[in-house]
Structure formats: structure tokens, C-alpha cells
Structure 1
Amino acid sequence: MSEPVPPNLATDTPIVFVDLETTGGSAGADRITEVGVVEIGPNGLSRWSTLVDPRQSIPPFIQQLTGINDAMVRGAPAFDVIAPALFDRLNGKLFVAHNAGFDRGFLRSEFARAGFAFNPDVLCTVRLSRALFPAEKRHGLDALTARHGLVASDRHRALADADLLWQFWQRLHTLVPVETLRAQIDRTMQRYRLAGDITEDHLDAAPAGCGVYVFYGDDDVPLYVGRSVRLRQRLRSHLTGERRSSREMRIAQQIRRVEWRATGGEVGALLAEAQWIATLQPMHNRRPRSARGDPVDAPWPYDGAIVFEERDDAQRQRTFHVVDRWRYVGGAPSLTEATGLWSSSPAGTFELSTYRILQTHLARGLRVMPLAASEPSMTGAASAAA
């Protein structure tokens, strides 16, 4: 049965305060033993909880901490049984938890095993407490309970701890002006509700190292091309980061699809980014300006196409980049594939951006070799003609 909710809360979004008990701290190896949810929505407040059969034994120290033992969960539903109803209960609501990364990580893993993609917007009450009360040193749930006079009915049980978060939320509304609280919630919230068809799992497949990316909007209109030495992290920052600029937030609201390419290094990323911008003409990129004296063509100082190698040692990745007559052909993970890429590529026109980038990096000692070379050892860089 729903209970009434106090008016003038600091967010109009439906909220779920969530706590879990588990068999341990690893979302990959351990499993959930109990779920507790306090839900705040247009129909008022409701509470829900269930024990969960983890299908593995509960370690003794966890049994001592939570009071949940193997006998209690025997006969309880497994997570895949409760997954559809729990997903409906949580989906589309602001997910509030203490040390929220822990609870979100476990639920995301369990939901994934049950065939659901769980990517809620998340508010961590530890981080919110630190933002609102920076002079305080301790922000654990026991510290919040003591500091704010919360009433713990059964500590380290899922529903009781979720209810403590609801009490803390109510207490904040008596201590902090609503507009200040709204601003801190917006600043602290982590937005994992990704754009279009982009999911967390999709981003997990993005390269961790150097690369380029392009965001597309409705009707596959190119929005923005960028590059990064930490591509996956940069994509997350665009889509879920809490410190986005107003411009980045405007772009994020339009994104429906993302495409990326690993480059193995920064020079390849510069070349690929410039070529994508010139080809796609995305609406949110600044157009490169021509300067007085820029050539419309330039002599090519090599007998044919050249290749240079970049290595991402952290990712154990090699990329061979091909350039032919001031045109960037592309990159490939092997010299053989790079040769095939060049041989199947149609002749192109002079690219001013490629000319500028290579002139700069050749002057800095970029090592190149003729593409026809049979061994992938680099020869000394040749200086480009002015």
C-alpha cells in the first residue's frame, strides 16, 4: 500500500532507494542474497523486498554481518525469476544508493545474465553527503544515521538500509534549501541512461587507448567528431560524465549512435579525425580555416605510398597508417592488411589537413617507410618538401 510523500522534493523524477545484500564484494563472482527498494513516485511511497537464492553458499562472515544464512535463502526465488518484475520497478527511475557503484554493479551484472540492459541514472548518497557537508569527515551509513538522527530498524538488511536512505533524503530537505539541493543532486548524479541504442555494454567494446569517434543524431546526421588518447573514457565522459559543459550536454541530448576507430597512437588519431571532419562535416565541429599561403597541392617527397607504425603498449596494439600523396588512406593492424587497404583504395585528392599534420610530425622525427617494403622495420624519416 502506498504512503503519501511530502511535497516540494528536490527532484520531480520518480526515485528508488535501493540496497542489496550479497555473498561478497565481486559482482562477477558473488551474487545477491536480498533486495530492498523504497519507491517514490506519483502514487506515493511503497516498500518492497525479497530474499534471493544466490545459488552459492554464503560465507560465515557475511552471515554474521547481515544475519542472512543459507537456510533463509533456500527456497527463495533466484534472481532470474524476480528480474522482470524488479526491472519494471526500477527502470526509468533515479537510482539512489549508498556507495551506489556497488549496488549498481551487482544489479547490472545480474540483470545482464537475465537478459536485461540496466543503465539507470545513479545518485550516490555518499557523494551527495560529501558535497553538501564537506566539513564532515565520515559519510558512511552509520555516520549519517548518528549525525542526522535516522532510525535504523535492522542494520545490514536490504529494506531497512534502503529506508535509512529515504529518511536521509527527507532530512536533507529540512537542512538544505531546495534549490541548493537540486543543484548538488544534478552535479553529483551520474547519468548512465545512454543515448539512442548506445548501452554500457556497447561502450565497453570501445578501445581503451587512442582513437577517433563520431556521434550521429536522428536520421544518422553526423553531430560531432573527436579524438582521444583514452577513447572509451572520453565516450563515457560525453554520455555519462557529471562535469559536462553546456555544449557537451546539448550534443549528448542529440546522440543516437556512435562509431569509433582505434588508431594506436596520436598521429593516426589526428589524421583520422581531420579526414572524418572533412568528409562528414558534422554540425558541432568547427571548420578548419585556410591560412594565407596554404597550398592547394604540394610535391610528394616519396616514390610512392608510405606507412608508419604506432604502438599502444598498454593495449598491446599495433596500427600501420598509410599515406599516399598527402592523402590519409587509413590504418590496419598489420603491414599486410595496410598494403591491402592501400591497394583497394581509390585514388584521392590532396588533403590540406594531412599535409599540415605530416609536415609537423615528420619534422619531429616521425619514422616512415615505403609501403612496398617487405620488413616492418622503420627507416629514418625523410623531410617533406616545403
Structure 2
Amino acid sequence: MSELLLPEPALNEPIVFVDLETTGGSTSEHRITEIGVVEVGPAGVSRWSSLVDPQQPIPSFIQQLTGITNAMVQGAPTFADIAPALLERLKGKLFVAHNASFDRGFLRGEFRRAGLAFDPDVLCTVRLSRALFPAEKRHGLDALVERHALVPFDRHRALADADLIWQFWQRLHGLVPLDVLRAQIERTTRRYRLAGDITEDLLDTAPAGCGVYAFYGEEDVPLYVGRSVRVRQRLRAHLSGERRSSKDIRLAQQVKRVEWRATGGELGAMLAEAQWIATLRPGHNRVPRVSKSDPADAPWPFDGPIVFEEREEALQSRAFHVVDRWRYIGHAASLTQAAQLHASSEKLPFELSTYRILQSHLARGLRVMPLGLPTDALTPVSSVA
């Protein structure tokens, strides 16, 4: 098929249209049997494909669907054999695929097993088709072939299906106004090439539950502090490009580094967030106003440091938070560790944010106890002077 002539492309960045054939649907259990790539860039359009030895049998129904047999992949290169050259072919380009999470997930897993990181920006043409043609019910590749008069030279073979995605991309330029197409592409693209040195693998180590996080920019200048009951998920929402506001996008463009801290609960996250904001004074956070009625210091209504417990049921974890004279010390996994945390802590100044937050929660019956007493000594406190 000859390439369509596009008067002005929706994107000026290099693009790869990718399709895979595999031994099944599980990225952990199954392996790739064929890779097809249509590469579009300043030099024009090029095509590349390779069978891959999955080093496991291909189920018979997969052989019938794709036409790829065990005999065909015998002697083909393994993924590890082609990984460096394939990564060089794909890196720095927008990764476009139909049901892209499938193809990206398989490639990311294979590259990881080969000791390489793979985190391209990704555009799913299923999602793009749904966004552009919401009245249509079917958005599978067969439906696109029928609806947009695409010309398959084969089906369920990797390069042939990658070529169909490329044909669909070209058709869109004649069906959708360019400004609308560009806007939907930007809205649909997931930006996995994250800020600075931040990668998907790094975000995998962020807390799944409650915590706080801080973004830093050039010269490690604090940009923003936030909290969430799902820190890892919130960080991805900030940085990956999905469902981001224009404000989030502007912030993400400045981020060079991120740090986080698990807090063991929502109240702990509130206290830690307020403490970080007061200490770091990041440019994208509102600094709480200090009114004339706010104390510069306040009497501590307890005889010494206190501790309160929070539980994260989803993670089946518990945390003991330590506060002393309106200063949030931190949290520990046990009362013994909480006492050690307090003993090793520095003397901190009065924290207005801690005062405000705890006053509110103590008034609602937060159960606290003096640090050093057994758990059954927890006593509700109804008010604080």
C-alpha cells in the first residue's frame, strides 16, 4: 500500500506503531513470539519485524489464530538477543499500539528480564478511537478495518497489524480537524517518560498506601508537597500524563526529583504534609495563613509526649504516631520503636500546623496515651485547652 500524503501531521515527533504476537495474555507467564514495528520519522517510513523464540510451547489455539507455529520460532532469536537493537529502535519515540497496555506490558516485562528499562510515552488507538468516535460501539482492529476501509495484507501477524494501526493514523488526518486530533492525542497519550530521572520502576517503590511526597526542581528547589491515601497512584497521576490538569502539566515539566514517606494513616499524612510545607515552603503550595488569634506558642496539655495509633486496613498495618509539645515527631511500627523515635528526635520549635490539626482531632475524640504506657491505656480526650 502506498503511504497517504498528509498535508500537516498531528505530531511532529517520531512515532513507532507496534504490534506483538504472544503465547498468551499474561505478561508474567507468557512470552512474545513476533514483533512488528512501523517507524515514522523525518527520514520517512520504515518497517521491521522479527519472529522471537519464546522458549516455551505455543498453545495450539494461538498457532491457529496467528499462523505462528513452534517450528517457525525454533532457531529464531530470543528476546534477549534482539533487546538492545530493538530498544534503540523504539526509544525516544511515541509508542502507538492497539490496546497499548498489552503490548507495552509485554515489552516492558521482556526488557526488564533482559536488564533494560523501557518506559516510552504511549498512545492507545483503542482509546483514541473511542475519544474521536464516541457514537461507535466497536473499536477493535477488525472494526477499524471495516469502518475506515483499511487494507490488511495479513491478520494476527505483528507487522501486518502494526501497518493497520499506521493506516488508521493516516485516515484520521482526513476525518478529524487537525486541532481536534491534536487535542485528543495529547489527552489520550500517557507520558511514561517521567520527569528528571523519575521512572516507572522508581515509582513502583513508592508507598501503595498513605503517605506524603515532595517534588523538587532545578538545583533541588522544593516545588510541591502533597499527601494521599495511595501515594504511588497519586504520583503516577501527577507525572504520567493521564487525567492531568494544565496546572499539573506545568508542575510536572519542572520536576527533577521526588521523595516520599509512608505515614501509616491519613492523620499521619496530614501532620507530615503540614510539617513538610512549613519546613520546605514549596512554591506551588499555599502557605497557611497566620491570623492574630493564632498562638506563637501554646501550653501542652499533657505531662509528656503522647502517642496515638492508626491502622491501614487495606495494608493490614498499624502505626504509632508520636507528638510532643505540638511537634509531630513521626511514626513507628510499635510502641517500643515509638519511644526510641522520640528519644532520638531533635528539639523542634512549636508547629502551628500540628497544633491546629491535633486540636481538631482531639476535640472529636482522638484516643491518645502517654508515651511509654501499654496499649490498653489509650484514653479518649474530648477537648484541649
Relative to the length of structure 1, the TM-score reads 0.97
Which residue number corresponds to residue 376 of structure 1? 375
Which residue number corresponds to residue 194 of structure 2? 194
Return the letter of the residue paired with 1:385.
V
Shift, 1:8, TM fit: 0.9
Shift, 1:377, TM fit: 3.5
Report the 3-state secondary structure (helix = DSSP H, G, I; strand = E; otherwise coil) of the residue aligned with 1:179: helix
Question: Do the aligned residues in 2 keep the contact of 1:327 with 1:351 (CA within 8 Å)?
Answer: yes
Return the letter of the residue paired with 2:235.
L
Which residue number corresponds to residue 174 of structure 1? 174
Which residue number corresponds to residue 16 of structure 1? 16
Q: How does 1:277-356 map to 2 (within 5 A)?
A: 277-356=277-356
Which residue number corresponds to residue 28 of structure 1? 28
Shift, 1:383, TM fit: 3.8
With 93-102 and 195-204 compared, the bigger mean Cα shift is at: 195-204
Report the 3-state secondary structure (helix = DSSP H, G, I; strand = E; otherwise coil) of the residue aligned with 2:275: helix
**2:150 is the counterpart of 1:150:** yes
Matched pairs, number:
384
Question: Do the aligned residues in 2 keep the contact of 1:3 with 1:46 (CA within 8 Å)?
Answer: no
Which residue number corresponds to residue 164 of structure 1? 164
Residues 1:81 and 1:5: Cα distance change in structure 2 (over 3 Å): farther
Shift, 1:143, TM fit: 0.3
Return the letter of the residue paired with 1:127.
R
Which residue number corresponds to residue 221 of structure 1? 221
Question: Do the aligned residues in 1 keep the contact of 2:364 with 2:382 (CA within 8 Å)?
Answer: no
Shift, 1:378, TM fit: 5.5
Deviations, residues 132-189 of structure 1 (Å, cap 9, x unaligned): 0000000000000000100111100000000000110111111111111111101111
Give ranges in structure 1 of 5+ residues lacking alignment.
none
The whole-number CA distance in structure 2 between the counterparts of 1:3 and 1:49 is: 19
Residues 1:289 and 1:244: Cα distance change in structure 2 (over 3 Å): same
Which residue number corresponds to residue 63 of structure 1? 63
The whole-number CA distance in structure 1 between the counterparts of 2:305 and 2:382 is: 15
Shift, 1:336, TM fit: 1.7
Deviations, residues 174-209 of structure 1 (Å, cap 9, x unaligned): 111111111110111111111112111111111111
Question: Do the aligned residues in 2 keep the contact of 1:15 with 1:94 (CA within 8 Å)?
Answer: yes
The whole-number CA distance in structure 2 between the counterparts of 1:378 and 1:239 is: 44
Shift, 1:7, TM fit: 4.2
Shift, 1:355, TM fit: 0.4
Shift, 1:221, TM fit: 1.3
The whole-number CA distance in structure 2 between the counterparts of 1:42 and 1:384 is: 69
Question: Do the aligned residues in 1 keep the contact of 2:53 with 2:75 (CA within 8 Å)?
Answer: yes
Report the 3-state secondary structure (helix = DSSP H, G, I; strand = E; otherwise coil) of the residue aligned with 2:375: coil
Question: Do the aligned residues in 2 keep the contact of 1:299 with 1:385 (CA within 8 Å)?
Answer: no
The whole-number CA distance in structure 1 between the counterparts of 2:277 and 2:214 is: 9
Report the 3-state secondary structure (helix = DSSP H, G, I; strand = E; otherwise coil) of the residue aligned with 2:357: helix
Shift, 1:254, TM fit: 1.0
Question: Do the aligned residues in 2 keep the contact of 1:320 with 1:331 (CA within 8 Å)?
Answer: yes
Shift, 1:321, TM fit: 0.7
Which residue number corresponds to residue 233 of structure 1? 233
Deviations, residues 234-292 of structure 1 (Å, cap 9, x unaligned): 00000013221222111101111111111121110110001001111111111110123
Question: Do the aligned residues in 2 keep the contact of 1:215 with 1:255 (CA within 8 Å)?
Answer: yes
Report the 3-state secondary structure (helix = DSSP H, G, I; strand = E; otherwise coil) of the residue aligned with 1:321: strand
The whole-number CA distance in structure 2 between the counterparts of 1:378 and 1:312 is: 21
Shift, 1:293, TM fit: 0.8
Question: Do the aligned residues in 2 keep the contact of 1:3 with 1:44 (CA within 8 Å)?
Answer: no
The whole-number CA distance in structure 2 between the counterparts of 1:370 and 1:331 is: 15
Question: Do the aligned residues in 2 keep the contact of 1:308 with 1:378 (CA within 8 Å)?
Answer: no
Question: Do the aligned residues in 2 keep the contact of 1:191 with 1:242 (CA within 8 Å)?
Answer: yes
The whole-number CA distance in structure 2 between the counterparts of 1:21 and 1:385 is: 65
Q: How does 1:78-157 map to 2 (within 5 A)?
A: 78-157=78-157
Residues 1:378 and 1:18: Cα distance change in structure 2 (over 3 Å): farther
Which residue number corresponds to residue 385 of structure 1? 384
Return the letter of the residue paired with 1:343.
A
The whole-number CA distance in structure 2 between the counterparts of 1:176 and 1:250 is: 27
Report the 3-state secondary structure (helix = DSSP H, G, I; strand = E; otherwise coil) of the residue aligned with 2:340: helix
Deviations, residues 38-93 of structure 1 (Å, cap 9, x unaligned): 00011000000000001111111111111111110010000011000100110010
Question: Do the aligned residues in 2 keep the contact of 1:5 with 1:44 (CA within 8 Å)?
Answer: no
Shift, 1:380, TM fit: 2.0
Report the 3-state secondary structure (helix = DSSP H, G, I; strand = E; otherwise coil) of the residue aligned with 2:289: coil
With 247-256 and 48-57 compared, the bigger mean Cα shift is at: 247-256
The whole-number CA distance in structure 2 between the counterparts of 1:96 and 1:247 is: 26
Question: Do the aligned residues in 2 keep the contact of 1:359 with 1:384 (CA within 8 Å)?
Answer: yes
Give ranges in structure 2 of 5+ residues lacking alignment.
none
Identity of aligned residues (%): 73
Question: Do the aligned residues in 1 keep the contact of 2:6 with 2:173 (CA within 8 Å)?
Answer: no
**2:210 is the counterpart of 1:210:** yes
With 152-161 and 362-371 compared, the bigger mean Cα shift is at: 362-371
Question: Do the aligned residues in 1 keep the contact of 2:37 with 2:48 (CA within 8 Å)?
Answer: yes
Which residue number corresponds to residue 246 of structure 2? 246
Report the 3-state secondary structure (helix = DSSP H, G, I; strand = E; otherwise coil) of the residue aligned with 2:194: coil
Question: Do the aligned residues in 2 keep the contact of 1:327 with 1:349 (CA within 8 Å)?
Answer: yes
The whole-number CA distance in structure 2 between the counterparts of 1:233 and 1:23 is: 30
Report the 3-state secondary structure (helix = DSSP H, G, I; strand = E; otherwise coil) of the residue aligned with 2:345: coil
Report the 3-state secondary structure (helix = DSSP H, G, I; strand = E; otherwise coil) of the residue aligned with 2:378: coil
